[in-house]
């Protein structure tokens, strides 16, 4: 030994049980996204800096892992949107539009290390890219997919919040504050954290008149059921074209969200949501865990008009949303919301041969695997107690013994590690018994 082993801070490295839950988490995402016709994509972690940073500047650039190798100026991707833009521009002629893709991959940001902040983390993105145009229905389908995804994961108490940037921009147009709308929205975004009075104060410091600050607070104060909010917004109609267009879109999205089967309690029109400033142009989303607002949005996105303007002159509008997977998993761990009953063992059966000759045990393992049962063959020459301890530590639900007697009688001894019950049944009855338990585990969701 000459080096102390360690993992860099800000890099998640899970123990086996948690990793199995994480895999199931990702599997659920892949399955759900696939059900809606999204195709999987995988792009390099490393890109030419010139390509990755085409947009240039900004807060992100400082955080980027950038280095040279030979003559090449390289960077690690910091999100999955820029690589998507590159991909779509590069392979434009070989893709069919609307192009729906999901990507689950690691991204890198050299943020200041702190608890719950990661420098390497998974993002899970879905996007729908149109060629020139993209129908508004997609803007309702995206949050509906997120609803499905979280439901399948087992999360119940969450709310997808929806707004439309055109409504906001239109509203600030009406007040003659469009120029300052960026700054105003940044301030308004803090409403939940700092409260209305403080927001008013900051707005006035920024040069907004008291009257207009009041108008803004009244506007973002519109609350209630979705139909009530939409009704309240109707009173602003007819004053600004952009606003009217946004209101139309929002109404359509809300209507179809219902059609897509998203219950009212899981989505809400929220006029305080703006998201980033220069990217989103229409519908925007955030997703809050109802019992943990302090965590912030666990899934965000929106509609944009021009995905790949740095790489192509084609107009490629789209809508997308992203789950910060690593952070969400970390939060669920912290909140003890991961459901270990969904299964954390690496095998369903630990198979212990009780004879010198291993042939029959090996054959039994092969037959069990043929039934889709995960079997670990254990042949280390240890004492019986050590073997059972091992089974316990792995958390396998069943231990199967195969000795001379069992081989003679053509039966299998199978111990249920939870109930302690041990049976001596023929092969197919044993399979049935094991599979019943597995089906029960399978019904468990990852999140409790």
Binders of a second copy among residues 134 to 153 (CB under 8 A) are: 134-135, 137-138, 141
Residue spans of beta strands (DSSP E) within 86-217: 99-108, 120-129, 158-164
**Minimum distance, C-beta of residue 252 to a second copy, in the bound complex (Å):** 10
First to last CA, the chain: 42
Q: Judged by CB under 8 A, does residue 417 bind a second copy?
A: no
**Minimum distance, C-beta of residue 300 to a second copy, in the bound complex (Å):** 23
Q: Which residues pair with 286 in a beta bridge?
A: 161
Nearer of residues 19 and 429 to a second copy, judged by Cβ: 19
Nearer of residues 118 and 285 to a second copy, judged by Cβ: 118
**Minimum distance, C-beta of residue 129 to a second copy, in the bound complex (Å):** 12
Nearer of residues 254 and 274 to a second copy, judged by Cβ: 254
CA angle 272, 276, 279 (to 5 degrees): 125
Nearer of residues 275 and 327 to a second copy, judged by Cβ: 327
Could you tell me the two tokens for 93? 């002629």
Task: Output the CA–CA distances (angstroms, integers) from residue 212 to 172, 176, 183, 233, 421, in the order listed.
Answer: 10, 10, 14, 17, 73
Nearer of residues 192 and 357 to a second copy, judged by Cβ: 357
Q: Judged by CB under 8 A, does residue 60 bind a second copy?
A: no
Q: Judged by CB under 8 A, does residue 117 bind a second copy?
A: no
Which residue stretch of 6-14, 187-195, 222-230, 289-297 sits at the interface with a second copy (rule: CB under 8 A)?
Answer: 6-14
284 to 323, contacts with a second copy by CB under 8 A?
308-313
72 to 111, contacts with a second copy by CB under 8 A?
72, 74, 85-87, 89-91, 94-96, 98, 100-101, 106, 108, 110
Question: What is the total count of residues that contact a second copy (CB under 8 A)?
Answer: 100
Nearer of residues 376 and 429 to a second copy, judged by Cβ: 376
**Minimum distance, C-beta of residue 273 to a second copy, in the bound complex (Å):** 24
Nearer of residues 44 and 224 to a second copy, judged by Cβ: 44
3-state helix, strand, coil in the chain (%, to 5): 45, 20, 35
- Which listed residue (152, 180, 236, 260) binds a second copy by CB under 8 A? 260
Q: Judged by CB under 8 A, does residue 404 bind a second copy?
A: no
Q: Judged by CB under 8 A, does residue 427 bind a second copy?
A: no
Name the 3-class secondary structure at 309.
coil
Pairwise CA distance, residues 391 & 416, whole Å:
11
Could you tell me the two tokens for 13? 């490295």
Task: Output the CA–CA distances (angstroms, integers) from residue 116 to 31, 77, 326, 345, 361, in the order listed.
Answer: 27, 20, 9, 26, 46
H helix or E strand, kind and range, residue 441: helix 427-443
**Minimum distance, C-beta of residue 30 to a second copy, in the bound complex (Å):** 8
207 to 246, contacts with a second copy by CB under 8 A?
none
Which residue stretch of 171-179, 210-218, 386-394, 436-444 sits at the interface with a second copy (rule: CB under 8 A)?
Answer: 386-394
Q: Judged by CB under 8 A, does residue 354 bind a second copy?
A: no
Beta 349-353 vs 375-377: how paired, if at all?
parallel
Q: Judged by CB under 8 A, does residue 443 bind a second copy?
A: no
- Which listed residue (60, 290, 379, 422) binds a second copy by CB under 8 A? 379
**Minimum distance, C-beta of residue 59 to a second copy, in the bound complex (Å):** 17
151 to 210, contacts with a second copy by CB under 8 A?
none
Q: Judged by CB under 8 A, does residue 386 bind a second copy?
A: no
Q: Other C-beta atoms within 10 Å of 44: how many? A: 12
Look at the block and give the residue holding tokens 């650039």: 61
- Residue 98 preceded by cis peptide, ω within 30: yes
Could you tell me the two tokens for 137? 């229905």
Name the 3-class secondary structure at 217.
helix
Which residue stretch of 168-176, 197-205, 288-296, 372-380 sits at the interface with a second copy (rule: CB under 8 A)?
Answer: 372-380
CA angle 281, 179, 193 (to 5 degrees): 70
DSSP string, 125-159: EEEEE-SS---THHHHHHHHHHHHHHHHHT--SEE
Q: Judged by CB under 8 A, does residue 29 bind a second copy?
A: no
Enter the DSSP assignment of 154: T
Look at the block and give the residue holding tokens 């943990």: 292
Nearer of residues 98 and 170 to a second copy, judged by Cβ: 98
Spatial CB neighbours of 6, under 8 Å, sequence gap ≥ 6 = none
């Amino acid at each position: 030994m000459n080096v102390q082993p360690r993992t860099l801070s800000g890099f998640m490295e899970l123990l086996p049980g948690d990793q199995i839950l994480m895999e199931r988490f990702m599997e659920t995402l892949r399955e759900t996204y696939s059900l809606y016709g999204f195709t999987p994509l995988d792009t390099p972690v490393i890109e030419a800096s010139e390509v990755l940073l085409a947009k240039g500047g900004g807060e992100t650039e400082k955080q980027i892992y950038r280095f040279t190798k030979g003559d090449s100026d390289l960077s690690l991707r910091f999100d999955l949107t820029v690589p998507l833009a590159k991909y779509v521009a590069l392979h434009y002629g070989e893709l069919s539009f609307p192009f729906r893709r999901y990507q689950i991959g690691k991204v890198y940001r050299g943020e200041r290390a702190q608890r719950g902040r990661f420098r390497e983390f998974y993002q899970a993105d879905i996007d729908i890219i149109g060629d020139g145009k993209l129908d508004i229905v997609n803007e309702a389908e995206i949050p509906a997919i997120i609803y499905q995804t979280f439901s399948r994961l087992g999360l119940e108490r969450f709310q997808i919040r929806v707004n439309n940037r055109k409504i906001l921009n239109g509203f600030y147009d009406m007040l003659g504050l469009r120029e300052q709308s960026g700054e105003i929205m940044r301030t308004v975004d803090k409403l939940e954290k700092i409260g209305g009075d403080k927001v008013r104060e900051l707005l006035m410091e920024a040069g907004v008149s008291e009257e207009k600050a009041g108008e803004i607070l009244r506007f973002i104060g519109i609350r209630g059921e979705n139909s009530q909010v939409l009704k309240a917004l109707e009173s602003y109609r007819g004053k600004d074209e952009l606003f009217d267009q946004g209101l139309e879109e929002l109404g359509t999205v809300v209507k179809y969200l219902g059609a897509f089967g998203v219950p009212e309690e899981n989505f809400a029109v929220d006029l305080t949501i703006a998201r980033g400033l220069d990217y989103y142009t229409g519908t925007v989303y955030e997703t809050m865990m109802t019992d943990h607002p302090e965590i912030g949005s666990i899934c965000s996105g929106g509609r944009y008009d021009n995905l790949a303007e740095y790489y192509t002159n084609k107009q490629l509008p789209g809508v997308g949303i992203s789950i910060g997977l690593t952070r969400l998993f970390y939060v669920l761990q912290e909140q003890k919301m991961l459901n270990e009953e969904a299964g954390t063992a690496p095998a369903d059966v630990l198979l212990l041969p009780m004879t010198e000759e291993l042939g029959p045990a090996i054959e039994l393992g092969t037959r069990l695997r043929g039934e889709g049962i995960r079997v670990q063959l254990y042949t280390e020459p240890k004492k019986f107690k050590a073997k059972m301890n091992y089974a316990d530590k792995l958390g396998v639900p069943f231990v199967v013994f195969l000795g001379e007697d069992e081989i003679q009688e053509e039966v299998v001894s199978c111990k249920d590690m939870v109930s302690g019950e041990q049976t001596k049944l023929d092969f197919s009855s044993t399979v049935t018994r094991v599979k019943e338990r597995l089906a029960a585990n399978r019904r468990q969701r990852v999140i409790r």
